[in-house]
Structure 1
């Protein structure tokens, strides 16, 4: 069985927790529209954390590295178990006609209207 949650307008942390639970139960998970995932909180602080994450490198040989990805699908994929997970930017053809799972991590449910 393939679970297909929609990443558009969902919070990153909530969505990762739900997807990780499904993956640990042994289900195949395909996250679509991952470019619409929301990172809540102060945008300046989130930017500083992300820039600090990008600056990490190995002292002796930076090419051996940790490699940091910038694409939304790779950022989301690193935060959850990777065996049964597939992350897509947009909606690829095999999943555009399937029923999506609505996760309780939407912006309209959890974020204040002033944010």
Structure 2
């Protein structure tokens, strides 16, 4: 079962902060996508509000996060990103549902 973390970030109302956050998230995706047991690590920017970003991290299982947290890049992420945000990150954790078997809804 895939373990997923969804993080919503909201940048300060400053064009430079938005661009810095955008670039850091792209860089982070390029780094973290290579981590062992990482299924995918996507970053997105809202199509109407350029200050709103979302990260979707997908791991083979919950314990797979350890490789992500052990990556030396992790120590650079929060110190760089947090000063660019207007409000704290909204982090949510999920277990993806198994959709491989047919289901009949009554």
TM-score (norm 2): 0.29
TM-score (norm 1): 0.27
